[in-house]
Chains A and B, each alone.
Chain A
C-alpha cells in the first residue's frame, strides 16, 4: 500500500469541541478539548478529498472511509511531538524536580489490589522515590527524541525531569498544551441585520502559535490508500476547514516518510527485548473498553493487529487515566447527527507486556500503526502505537 503524507498548517485557532451540545437552543458556549481527536482530523481530510474527487456517492464514501489515515500528530520545526507518557511521574522537592518511571511491581506476602485480572500487577514508583506532595505538572508534549529515550530506558534514573506545562521552547524537547482562544460573537437578526439581543455565544479554539515566537505547531498525518484518489493526494495544496466554525487551515502533501519510521535505538532495543511497552500516541478504542480485544479476556495474552502471528504478548500492567468520551457529528447522509458516545483510553497510556513467544522485532514495522480492534477505528487514526521496553525497578 502506498503512503502519502499530509501536513496541516492552521490559519486560525482550530475548534475541537467536546461532546456538549452547542447551538441556538442548546448552549451558547463551546468547550474545547485539550487536543484534536483523530476522527476530527480524518473526517475533515475525507471531506476535502470527497469534494476534490467529485462528491459523496455511496461508493466514494465507502472508499473514503477505507483510507487509512494515521494522525494527527504535532510537528514543530520538523520535530514530531507526542502526548506525554502516563508512566512518567515528577515530584518537586524545593526547587528540584525528580522524574520517576512507573513499572509493574510485585506484591509482597499478604498484599493485594483489586485489579481486573489475577496476574495483573500495579504500576509502582521505585523504592526511595521522593514522593512529597502531589505529582507535579509535566509538559504535555514530548519530542520524538525524548520519547525514544524514555521508551528504551529500563528505568527513569538519569532522565532529566521534564519542565512543567508552561510555554517553553521546543529546543528543550518539550511543548506545553496549546492555549485556548475564546471569542465572543453575537447572532445577527435576520430582519434588521443588527446584533440579536441576548444571542451572544462564545467559541473556543486551540491556538497553535507558539507564544512570543513566529513558530507554529503543525499537524501531520500519514494516509495509506491503494491507488484511489492518489492524484488528488499527490497534488494536495489547498485551504480547507477543519473542526468547528469552519476555521481554516492549509493542507499540503509533503514528503514526511522519515517522521514515521521507528528510531534505530528503539528498533535495536526491541530486537532483544522480552519486556515490551506499548504507548498510545493517539487515544485507543478497544472492544473491551480498557482492554484491547486482541487480548484474551482471561489470560490477557494475544498478538497485536498487523503481526503475522508468531508473537505472543501477555499483559502485565497498565498505566492510564480515566476514560475519555468520544462524541462527534456524522455528516453521512444516512446517519447525519450526533454519533454514539464511545469511551477511549487516553493518549499517553502505557501497556506493559511480557513477550512469551516470537521476536519483538516484528513490532518495528508496526511503529505508529494502530492497535485498535475495529478496522474503521484503525482507519480513523485511533490507537497509534509506539513500542518500547521496560524492566522492573531494581530495589
Chain B
C-alpha cells in the first residue's frame, strides 16, 4: 500500500463513564478517565509512527507545564491516524487497544494500594468486573483514493459497520447482591454485611463518600475514589457562588466567620475542601455548607455527627436573619452543554490530511481553552473534548459564559478556512442543585438539543424550519415545582440578541423596575387576544399593561420600542417566556456596583 493507510479507532463505554453519576466528582472523573484512556490509545498510535489526524498531537503530548491533577478531559473518544505503507494496521490497532486497557487497569489497580479501599471491595468481584469494561473497535483502509473518500469509507462505513457487531462476553453475575446504584449494569463490588447480602459493610469516609444504601460497581468505585480522593466542586458550590460573593461584599466580617467555621468543620473531616479551583479560593469549601437542609445527609455521608453542624447552622441563621439585601442562598445553577454544528459535513469536505490535522489542531486549541474560559466565569468544566463541552456555572454568569464559548469556538476554527464557517450550538439549563445529577445532565442535553433543533411539529415546511436548526442558543429553566420554561434563538451579533435581551430583562427585574407578575400578565393578555389578534392591538394592549403596572415612563417607552417586532400572540408568549427565564437569572444577580474582587466590573 504505497500511500499508507487510514486507521480509525473508537473507545468506550462512553455512557458508563460520563452519564452514570451521583456526585459531580463521578461525572468529572468519569470524563477524565475516558479522556485519559483515549489519550493513551492515541499516544500508542503516535508512538507506533502513526501520524495522528484526530486528535491533534498537541493535545496528547505531555504539557510543557504541569497541569492541575483535576484538569477536565479534553480528548474525544474517536482516533484517526495515517499509517505508513509498510505498517500493519491490525497490529497497530491491537497495541493501541492494549494501551487503552492498561490505562483503565492502572486506574483500577492504583486504588487497591489504599488499604481502606482494598478492604472495602470484594476482591473476586473486583477482578471479574475490572477486566471486562473497556470497549475498543477499529477499522482501516488503504489510502489508494482521495483522502475525503478514504476517510468517509473508514469513518462512516467501516467503523460504524464494525460497531454494529457489539461482541461481549456473557456476564458472570452473582445472585443475591444488589446492582450498582449509578446504572444497575453490574453487581455492587462493596463487601457485604455479615447479616445480609443486601447491605454492604463499608463505612463512608471523606476518602470514599457513600450515600445511605448506595452501591457501586467497579466503574462506580473508580469514579468515586480514583487518583486519591479530592473533592470536586459540587453543584451546590457552583449554585452558592453568587450568594457567597454577595455576602463577602455586604458583610465581610460574617463572611470571615463563615469561612472560619467551615475550616473548623474541614478539620474534623465533616466538610470537604475544594482545591485546584483558584476562583473558589475565597470560600474553598463544599457549597452545601450554606444549605442547612443538607446537613443531615452530609453528616451521614462523611460518617460524622450532625451535631458538628450546629454552630454553622446558627451562624447561617444570623447571616440570613440580618438581611441586608442578601436573602437566602438561591439553590439554582446553570449547566452548559455545547456542541459544534454539522462537523461531519465540514470534515467530509476536507480533502487532505494536512487540512484535517489543522482542523484537529483548531479543535484541540478550543478544547484546551475551554477550562480557563469557564473558570473566568466562575464555573467548573466537566469536559471539553473536541467540539463537545459540558460545564457548570453560577446562574449570574451563564449568559456571558455561553457567548464566550461560542466566540472562542468560532475564533479557533475560523483560521482553518473551511468552505462553510463552523458554528456552535449552546444550551443552558438552569436547575436546582438538589435535583439528581442525572436529571440536571438530562436538562443540559435537552437544552443543547433544543439549541440545535428548535423547531416543533408545527413547523412543517423546510422554510419554517430553516432558521431553527443549528447555530442556536437556548436557555431552559427547571423549577422544582411548577412548569419549566425555555427560549431559543439563532446566535446573533446584535445588541438585540437573545442573551442580551435576557440580560436586560434580568437587570430590570433585579432592580425592581418591572413587576414580577408581568410575564404572567403577558400570558393572560395573549390568551385574551387569541389567534385572531392583530399586531397593532397587541402592542397597544402591552403598552396599556405597562401603564397599569406603573412601569416608569422612560422604561415604558423603551420597552415599546424593544417589542415593536411583536406581531402575534405567539410573540407575546415568547416575550413572557424570556421574562420568566430572566427572573431566574435576576435571582442570582449581584447588586451593582459591587466592591468585590470576585465579580466582573
Contacts and interface: CB of A to CB of B under 8 A. Distances in A.
Interface in B32-91: 89-90
Contacts of A57: none
A214 interface: no
B142 A111 contact: yes
A150 to B, nearest CB: 17
A193 B444 CA distance: 39
B171 A341 contact: yes
B184 A327 contact: yes
B367 to A, nearest CB: 20
Given A110-B141, A290-B166, A319-B164, A133 B175 contact: no
Interface residues of B, number: 63
Contacts of B180: 19-20
Interface in A299-334: 317-323, 325, 327, 330
A26 B175 contact: no
A317 B162 CA distance: 9
A20 B214 CA distance: 10
Contact of B144 (A107, A110, A320): A110
Contacts of A288: 169-170
Contacts of A124: 157-158, 161
B345 A133 contact: yes
Contact of A289 (B93, B169, B215, B344): B169
A122 interface: yes
A133 B342 contact: yes
Contacts of A123: 161, 164-165
A322 B166 contact: yes
B129 to A, nearest CB: 10
B197 A343 contact: no
A320 B213 contact: no
B292 to A, nearest CB: 13
Contact of A94 (B13, B139, B462): B462
A62 interface: no
Interface string A330-345: 1000010111111100
B421 interface: no
Given A21-B178, A131-B156, A330-B175, A112 B90 contact: yes
For the residues of A in contact with B, the DSSP-based class is: loop
A102 B162 CA distance: 12
A27 interface: yes
A123 B158 CA distance: 8
Interface in B168-226: 168-171, 173-187, 197-199, 212-215
B164 A102 contact: yes
Interface in B128-154: 135, 137-142, 144, 153
Contacts of B181: 20-21, 26-27
Interface stretch (A113-121, A139-147, A379-387): A113-121
Of B5, B135, B164, chain A has the most CB atoms within 10 Å of the CB of B164
B128 to A, nearest CB: 11
Contacts of A335: 175-176
Of A21, A109, A320, chain B has the most CB atoms within 10 Å of the CB of A21
A290 B461 contact: no
B214 A122 contact: no
B1 interface: yes
Contacts of B90: 112, 114
Given A25-B213, A330-B175, A337-B198, A18 B165 contact: no
Contacts of B97: 114
Contacts of A245: none
B592 interface: no
A26 B213 contact: yes
A342 B461 CA distance: 46
Contact of B179 (A86, A105, A327): A327
B170 A342 contact: yes
B175 A114 contact: no
A19 B1 CA distance: 50
Contacts of A287: 170
Contacts of A291: 167
The 5 nearest A-B residue pairs measured at CB: A122-B161, A19-B184, A340-B173, A341-B173, A26-B213
Given A108-B142, A116-B165, A325-B179, 17 more contacts: A21-B181, A27-B214, A31-B184, A110-B1, A111-B153, A114-B137, A114-B162, A122-B139, A123-B161, A124-B157, A320-B165, A338-B177, A338-B179, A338-B187, A340-B173, A342-B170, A343-B170
Interface of A: 18-21, 23, 25-27, 29, 31, 86, 94-95, 102, 105, 107-116, 120-125, 131-134, 166, 286-291, 317-323, 325, 327, 330, 335, 337-343
